[in-house]
Each structure stands twice: as structure tokens, then as C-alpha cells.
Amino acid sequence: MTQSKPQVQYREDYQAPHYWIDTLDLDIQLHDSATEVVAISRIRRNGEHSEDLVLDGEQLELLQVAVNGVETRQYQQTGNSLILSQLPPEFVLTIKTRINPAANTALEGLYKSGSAFCTQCEAQGFRRITYYLDRPDVLARFSTRITADAGLYPYLLSNGNRVGQGVLDDGRHWVQWQDPFPKPAYLFALVAGDFDVLRDRFTTHSGREVALEIYVDKGNLHRAGHAMDSLKASMAWDEQRCHLEYDLDIYMIVAVDFFNMGAMENKGLNVFNAKFVLADASTATDNDYLDIERVIGHEYFHNWTGNRVTCRDWFQLSLKEGLTVFRDQEFSSDLGSRTVNRIRNVRIIRGPQFAEDAGPMAHPIRPDAVIEMNNFYTLTVYEKGSEVIRMLHTLLGEQAFQRGLALYLQRHDGQAATCDDFVAAMSEASGRDLSRFKRWYGQSGTPVLTVTDHYDAEAGHYRLTVRQHTPPTRDQQEKLPLHIPLSLALYTEQGEPVPLMSGGRGIGPVLDVLEAEQSFLFEQVPSRPTPALLQGFSAPVKLHYDYGDEQLALLAKCCLDEFVRWDAVQMLVNKTVLEQVAQLQRQQQPALPRVLVDVFRATLEDATLDRALKAEMLTLPDLGSLLELFEQVDIELLDRVHQGLQQDLAVALRPLWRQAYEDNLTPEYRIEHQDMARRALKNVALGYLALAGEAERVERQYAAADNMTDTLAAMKAAVRADLAEREAMLADFEAKWRHDGLVLDNWFRLQATAPGAETLARVRELMRHPTFSLGNPNRVRALIGAFSAGNPVQFHRADGAGYDLLVEVLEQLNHSNPQVASRLVTPLIQSARLDEGRRHLIRVRLERLMALPDLSRDLFEKISKALA
């Protein structure tokens, strides 16, 4: 909590630490409310100076300090630091502290998740365990001795290898761990508890035998198999695609119920939100299975990109996160459908990431100024960061990219590196000038590409003119032209691709857009072509090109780039939405364009299309992404258009939805990509059929379902279409799953995102459900997060009651869990697209929060920016 006004840290102010810590020996005596930590470090002065040693520490009770074994009182304690002066060039520092894990509701540092102890140290949680140089450029060899009650905590885990253990007289036991790899404190982990353990092995390419262990709550062993398969698949993939091998003899994953985010890549001991570990057919959906594979992969890939080479300072976070997201996206794409993965990622960029760029928290993927680091684990740093890596991959090609990655890892192995180091390695390995490309790291905001064209029939010339412009963002007024890879193809009216010729020779599909305005001439173009622009979403930009409906229909049917086929449908939908909003504003009846129905029909009837892709093509953008089409818009009007469009498509194509439904029933449940694709398409069809009033079919699916994907799809269809059957299904589901929080989260989420004015009251009622708790981040996200971020119409009720609910929750979480509070506040600070009335309602409430006497740094940073 804030004592004084929170301070801004600037990237430019980076200074190497005054001291290095070479080794840290931890001795941790676990007790619920009085855990004692003895930390012995070998410290070395960095260069000649007489600076103090300033250690970070928060919420610690200091018991003893000794230098070279001699107890000392020559230290100062300020709010969050311990300062030692007049130190020798090298010395051993011993610090004894006491902490209270049971009272730690912030879930940062050492805390209790249910009956187990666990830790979360990234970004700055280690300072809640002991006084330390808690910064990522201080790398030490850790050894950790854990002592705890043997009955309650039979498993005592930490990083590295188990090197000793013993039993004590008082019913307690101990285990000693040694991590041979120097690491920053944020990668430290400790877990103590009683678990079921799933064990397996992996033999690496060079023959290292690795023990794989997944720790889950007792009784959940049967739900850990998919996580184990995903782990082995990740290890194999990293060897095959990136030639990277695992480096310890053991890899452990622990699933816990109380966790602020998805998972954490601690060296050799990942701690996971149980949501990303536990799965079986009866409790997990197809998407849950895919998410588990993705997150297990992500954390595993961090072992190289993040752990072996870490970040010099937290401003460089995207160095490990953007790169590791890129790696997990490639992993998922190699194992499943590349196009569908691409589409799902692009939906995130175009929806919430573009909204972040347009809001008060806009920042470059490498931020320049930070108050609370935890606020910068953002879609920009992660997802846009991955897009930046993907653009490098597009520009360099797979081979040069892999050479660059190898060079970067080999050059900086065991070090804390910067984004500049990464780009330098990529540039060296490929011979490409990336100087302009580097601007992506420092410039925030979403570039707009405006493309115009001219066809000269006589000469057979086609000229594209590309203008780029990045509108100012809240953090940065001036914007410079970026290096944008623009992938394109040209199509004839018959849908045939035209070979790209320029300067008398064939050229590749990727144009280097470098200037504010640039034009590209294509020769030997037989007729006026339709350009397929931004193939594969080759850059995270907004594209403006004045496509005619027929051109979009052509691309949707014929384009060889599957992403563009999907995108053409999206553009057609966007055009329709813009048109219909205008019609409603003119008090006209919105019209359903023939061409849209035709494209949907052609998509449904296309027997060659992958079913998962079909499902994506037939799914409209969500309201959040549609909001991004407008400078400002009446959200209820937009929602009416969105709902009406789905309704119209449901009715217009009803026989085809029925057929898609019938054709894609899967007789038995298998986790297999073909079957998942069938279910995806079938359930999209079910959604439309529900809107067309086919309640009986929805009920039948709910009753017959033998898997969570189909159960939830039926329940969702009923809720979205507001079918009378929905209450019975919801009641049945609750009775079945009320004791399983993870499963019940689906039930909370569904009700929180239900249309209708009664939703708010329902959410309030659900907050009193016995399985709901404000102390569990998963529950909070499923109910409160889903309502405020996933139900824009009800959250932005004109009476402000949606805002009041969120503010009440924030006031509580501000004390108990500032990180979770800070995530939840997002929809309140991204109000730019809303009307004046709502913005006023929001402002009043943000001002109230701002006036809280003990506002956390996390909320302070976001709210003060929103109010500025």
C-alpha cells in the first residue's frame, strides 16, 4: 500500500547494480503465520566505489543481520529497504527475517494456496521473502533448504536438483535443493504440500534423462495426463524447431488453486494456475485442452528465452515475453491448425490490444516509464511483442531467424540481456538492416496503413500507394514511420493469383514499407486485380483499403491465404455493421446485405475448407472489436446491430445451419484436431439455430452431451438466445459442479456475460454463492472480470450500476489483492469510445477510487492516467 506518492521509474535511468550476489543459501522454516527465513549471500562490490548496499524488502520482520558472521546493527531500515554502509569489497551477508504467509492475500511472495505453501516472485515478489537485490540483472546460484511439518507437507520443492533430505525429531523434515544455474530472484520458487504426483520421463536429443513430475491436488491425478503430454510435446518441439534442449535432470509443475495469472516459469519448478493443468473430457472443453498445451509450452520455452537468457531490467520484459509468446504460438500452430491459431491471436490484437493502444495505458512493447511493474504484463508487451517477433520472422525467413535466435542465446547465455541485444543478433545473423525496424520497440500505438491503387490497362501496370500513419497516443505525441512488412497477393476477377513482377523480375509477397508514403509498381498485370493485403496479418496495423463488396466476396471464396479468406468475411461484417449503425441513426430499418448472406452460404457449402476455419469464418467479431471501428458510438445501438445481424443470419441460412449441425456430430469424444474442428463448427451452428428458435435441439445436446465442450456450447446457446430452457440447464449444471470451482467458473462466466438487464442483479446474487470468493482470482475473473470486460452492454448500463458493482469489488481488492484489482479496472479506464454521459459516470467513480486513503500503486498508476 502507498505510503508516499508512488514513484515513476524510467528506462533511461538504468544503472548496473553496485553489488553482485554470487550465491544465496536460503534456509526456510515453514510455519503458517511465522515462517523464518535465513538468507546467506556472498556479495561482491561491482567496481570501485563506496556506495551503500540497498536491499529491497517488503512486509518483512527483520530479526538479525550479520556481516561475515558477526552480528551488526550498522544498518538503516526505511519503508521498503535495508541499507548497509561501509562494506568490504567482498563479504558474506546473513539476514534473518520472519514473514506471514497465511496473511498474504496478495499472492505475491510466499503464500498459502489452500493447504499448500507456494511462491510467486515475478516481478518483485522475492523482496517479500527476504531482503535482497530484487532485480533481474543480479544472478546468483541458489541453494534452498526447506523445513516443514512432515505430515502436512510431505513434498518440499524448490529449483534445481534435490541434494539432501532428512527427518527431524519434532515431526518435521527437510529437503535441500541446489540450482546449478545462476538466476535472478524472480525465478525462485518454493512449494510445500501434499499432492498426487504424475511421473514420466523424457530423454533429450543428447541423451539426458529428465524426470517429469506434475503435482496436483489429491484426487486429481486423472486430470493431469494432458498436461504431461503437452510437456513432452513442448520438449520435443523445442528440440526439433529451435534445437534447444532441457538442461536439468528434473522438471516439475505444480498446480495451485490460488494464482494471480496463468503460470510461472520458475527454473525447474513451474507453478501453474490449476486451470492450465487439469483436464478431462467431463470437466474441460476443447479450448481448455488447447490452452493447457499452449501455457505448458509457453512456460517450458521460457527455460531458454527468459531463464537461460533473462532480462537486464523490467523494461525489457518483452524480450522474454514477446519472444516466448511467439514460440508458443508457433508450437500451437505446428501441432494444430496454423490458420485458426493465427485468427485467434489476431482477434486479441484487434480487440483488446488495439483498445489498450487507444487508452490511457498505451505504451511501447518496451515501456519507458513504469510505476508498478505488474501493470506491464500487458497485451502490448506479450501479444504485440509477439507480433514484432513475427514480423522479424517474416522479414528474415525461418532459417535466418533461427540463426539469429541461436546467436542471441549463445552470446547471452547466463546473462541478463536487452531488446537491443536481441535485434543486434537478428541483424548480424541475417545481414539485414533492422535500424528502422527497431522503432517498433519504442513506439506505442496502432499504425494505420492506408492503401490506394491505380491500374493502367494499356501498360499492364498496377500501382499500390501505401501511406502509414500512427495516431498520437496518451504516452507519446510524435510518431515516426515504421518498417512494416506488408504481405500481399493479387487476384484476377476469376480468383486466379497474378504472379508478382516488379522491375522485370518475379518478387516475393512481402513488401518493405519504410516510409510515410511509398508506392509499389507491379508489371504484367493482365486486368484490374483485387489485392489480398496483409496476408497472414503480416503486421499489427489497421488496414484501410476501399474494398468493394464483390472484391471481399472474391477473397473470401478464392484467396489462397486462408487468413485473408477469414479476414475478408470480417471486413464484410465490419462494413455491414458500420452501414447498419448509420441506418439506425437515420431511423432506418437496418438491411442485411445479400453479399454477406452469399458469403456465409458459400462458406457453409465449401466442402474443401477446414471445419475449424469455417467455424471461425462464421463467427462474428465480438462487440469489443466492433467498438474499435468507431471513434465514438452508442454501445446499445451497436449491440442491437450486432445481435440483429446474428439473428438475421440465423434465420436466412437456417437449413444450412441444420445441415452443418447434423454433419458434424462426433460419435465419441476424442481430443483430436479433426474432432475438435467438427465440434467447433457444429457448436457455431447450434448458436445460430438457438437464435432461430430451435430450443429443442439445444436441450437435446445439453442432455446427451458426454463432454464439457458440448455441454457448455448448449448452455451458452440457450443463454445467448435467451431460451426458456436456460434456467433448467443452469440449475442442473450448478447441482453437478458446485464443488468444483474451476468447472463452476464456466457457469459464473456464462451468467455474467448473459444479455438482459437482469444480469447485474444475477451477478450480485452469484457473489454470495458458496463457491464464489473474492480471495480466489479465478473466481473473481470468472464472475466480475467476465461481467465488466465481457459484457459491455450490461457493464456500461446507462444508470452506472454496472460501474458501481466493479468499484465495490475494487475497493475490497485494493487491500487484499492489488494485482487482481488492477487487471479488473481495465474496462473502466478504456472509455474513449463511449458517449459523454457514460464517461462522466465513470470519471466520478474513478475520482472516488483515487481518493482512497490507501490506494495501491497498481491502481494508482492506471486510475491517475485515466483521470489525467
User: Rounded CA gap, 538 and 447, in Å?
Assistant: 13
User: Rounded CA gap, 222 and 815, in Å?
Assistant: 37
680 is an interface residue for ligand B3K by CB under 6 A: no
**Closest C-alpha among 808, 786, 796 to residue 716:** 786
824 is an interface residue for ligand B3K by CB under 6 A: no
Nearest approach, Cβ of 264 to ligand B3K (angstroms)? Answer: 5
C-alpha cell at 865: 492516467
Q: Which is nearer to ligand B3K, 119 or 576 (CB)?
A: 119
Write the single-letter amino acid at 271: V
**Closest C-alpha among 218, 265, 334 to residue 122:** 265
Q: Which residues pair with 253 in a beta bridge?
A: 214, 270
Nearest approach, Cβ of 121 to ligand B3K (angstroms)? Answer: 9
User: Rounded CA gap, 331 and 305, in Å?
Assistant: 14
58 is an interface residue for ligand B3K by CB under 6 A: no
User: Rounded CA gap, 301 and 291, in Å?
Assistant: 15
Q: What does 562 interact with, of ligand B3K, Zn ion, none (CB < 5 to 8 A by kind)? A: none
Q: Which is nearer to Zn ion, 324 or 530 (CB)?
A: 324
Q: Are 455 and 462 spatial neighbours (Cβ–Cβ below 8 Å)?
A: yes
Strand-pair category, 310-311 with 416-417: parallel
Total residues at interface with Zn ion (CB under 5 A): 2
Q: Of 450-489, which residues contact ligand B3K (CB under 6 A)?
A: none
Q: Quick one: DSSP state of residue 382?
A: I
Nearest approach, Cβ of 382 to Zn ion (angstroms)? Answer: 7
Looking at 217, 265, 286, 745, which residue binds ligand B3K (CB under 6 A)?
265
Catalytic residue among 58, 108, 293, 299: 299
Q: Are 275 and 284 spatial neighbours (Cβ–Cβ below 8 Å)?
A: no
User: Cα angle vertex 187, ends 185, 188, to 5°?
Assistant: 70
Q: Which is nearer to ligand B3K, 119 or 147 (CB)?
A: 119
CB-side exposure of 18: number of CA atoms within 13 Å? 16
Piece in contact with Zn ion (CB under 5 A), picked from 34-42, 319-327, 397-405, 838-846: 319-327
374 is an interface residue for ligand B3K by CB under 6 A: yes
Nearest approach, Cβ of 426 to ligand B3K (angstroms)? Answer: 22
What x-and-dash track marks residues 301-340 binding ligand B3K by CB under 6 A?
-x------------------x-------------------
User: Rounded CA gap, 115 and 385, in Å?
Assistant: 37
Piece in contact with ligand B3K (CB under 6 A), picked from 226-234, 258-266, 580-588, 617-625: 258-266
Nearest approach, Cβ of 12 to ligand B3K (angstroms)? Answer: 23
383 is an interface residue for ligand B3K by CB under 6 A: no
Nearest approach, Cβ of 23 to ligand B3K (angstroms)? Answer: 24
Piece in contact with ligand B3K (CB under 6 A), picked from 62-70, 256-264, 646-654, 802-810: 256-264
C-alpha gyration radius of the chain: 28
Q: What does 610 interact with, of ligand B3K, Zn ion, none (CB < 5 to 8 A by kind)? A: none
Q: Which is nearer to ligand B3K, 265 or 288 (CB)?
A: 265
Write the single-letter amino acid at 246: Y
Piece in contact with ligand B3K (CB under 6 A), picked from 153-161, 259-267, 530-538, 695-703: 259-267
What x-and-dash track marks residues 105-144 binding ligand B3K by CB under 6 A?
-----------------xx---------------------
Which residues contact residue 608 at a Cβ distance below 8 angstroms, ignoring those fewer than 6 apart? Answer: none
Q: What does 679 interact with, of ligand B3K, Zn ion, none (CB < 5 to 8 A by kind)? A: none
Segments of 474-533 assigned E as strands: 484-491, 497-498, 501-502, 505-506, 510-513, 517-522, 530-533
Phi, psi of 839 (to 5 degrees): -60, -35
3-state secondary structure of 248: coil
Q: What does 189 interact with, of ligand B3K, Zn ion, none (CB < 5 to 8 A by kind)? A: none
Q: What's the distance, CA 658 to chain centroid?
A: 35
Which residues contact residue 155 at a Cβ distance below 8 angstroms, ignoring those fewer than 6 apart? Answer: 191, 192, 193, 194, 195, 197, 215
Q: Are 362 and 445 spatial neighbours (Cβ–Cβ below 8 Å)?
A: yes
Nearest approach, Cβ of 9 to ligand B3K (angstroms)? Answer: 16
Piece in contact with ligand B3K (CB under 6 A), picked from 261-269, 507-515, 544-552, 744-752: 261-269
> Is the dihedral angle over the CA atoms 683, 684, 689, 693 positive or is it negative?
positive
Q: Are 652 and 586 spatial neighbours (Cβ–Cβ below 8 Å)?
A: no
Type and span of the H or E element at 286: helix 286-301
Nearest approach, Cβ of 373 to ligand B3K (angstroms)? Answer: 7
356 is an interface residue for ligand B3K by CB under 6 A: no
Q: Quick one: DSSP state of residue 494?
A: T
Q: What does 122 interact with, of ligand B3K, Zn ion, none (CB < 5 to 8 A by kind)? A: ligand B3K
Q: Of 772-801, which residues contact Zn ion (CB under 5 A)?
A: none
Nearest approach, Cβ of 139 to Zn ion (angstroms)? Answer: 18
Q: What's the distance, CA 283 to chain centroid?
A: 22
377 is an interface residue for ligand B3K by CB under 6 A: yes
Total residues at interface with ligand B3K (CB under 6 A): 12
Q: Which is nearer to ligand B3K, 276 or 520 (CB)?
A: 276
How deeply is 464 buried, as exposed, middle or buried, from its count of CB atoms within 10 A (0-12, 13-18, 19+)? buried
User: Rounded CA gap, 168 and 419, in Å?
Assistant: 48
Complete DSSP assignment for 21-59: EEEEEEEEE--SS-EEEEEEEEEEE-SS--PPEEEE-SS
Nearest approach, Cβ of 473 to Zn ion (angstroms)? Answer: 24
What x-and-dash track marks residues 323-362 binding Zn ion by CB under 5 A?
-x--------------------------------------
Q: What does 264 interact with, of ligand B3K, Zn ion, none (CB < 5 to 8 A by kind)? A: ligand B3K
C-alpha cell at 540: 499489427
User: Rounded CA gap, 539 and 516, in Å?
Assistant: 16
Nearest approach, Cβ of 298 to Zn ion (angstroms)? Answer: 5
Piece in contact with Zn ion (CB under 5 A), picked from 186-194, 314-322, 720-728, 838-846: 314-322
Q: Which is nearer to ligand B3K, 348 or 801 (CB)?
A: 348
User: Rounded CA gap, 738 and 766, in Å?
Assistant: 12
859 is an interface residue for ligand B3K by CB under 6 A: no
Catalytic status, residue 299: yes
Exposure string of 676-713, with b = 16+ CB inside 10 Å and e = fewer, is: bbbbbbbbbbbbbbbbbebbebbbebbeebebbbbbbb
Nearest approach, Cβ of 428 to ligand B3K (angstroms)? Answer: 27
C-alpha cell at 466: 501505401
Q: Which is nearer to ligand B3K, 374 or 751 (CB)?
A: 374
Piece in contact with Zn ion (CB under 5 A), picked from 56-64, 195-203, 318-326, 599-607: 318-326
Q: Of 288-307, which residues contact ligand B3K (CB under 6 A)?
A: 298-299, 302
Q: What does 567 interact with, of Zn ion, ligand B3K, none (CB < 5 to 8 A by kind)? A: none
Q: What does 374 interact with, of Zn ion, ligand B3K, none (CB < 5 to 8 A by kind)? A: ligand B3K
Angle between helices 741-752 and 726-737 in degrees, nearest 10:
160
Q: Quick one: DSSP state of residue 256?
A: E
Piece in contact with ligand B3K (CB under 6 A), picked from 19-27, 216-224, 260-268, 453-461: 260-268
Q: Which is nearer to ligand B3K, 261 or 392 (CB)?
A: 261
Nearest approach, Cβ of 302 to Zn ion (angstroms)? Answer: 6
Interacting residues toward Zn ion by CB under 5 A: 321, 324
Catalytic residues: 299
Interacting residues toward ligand B3K by CB under 6 A: 122-123, 261, 263-265, 298-299, 302, 321, 374, 377
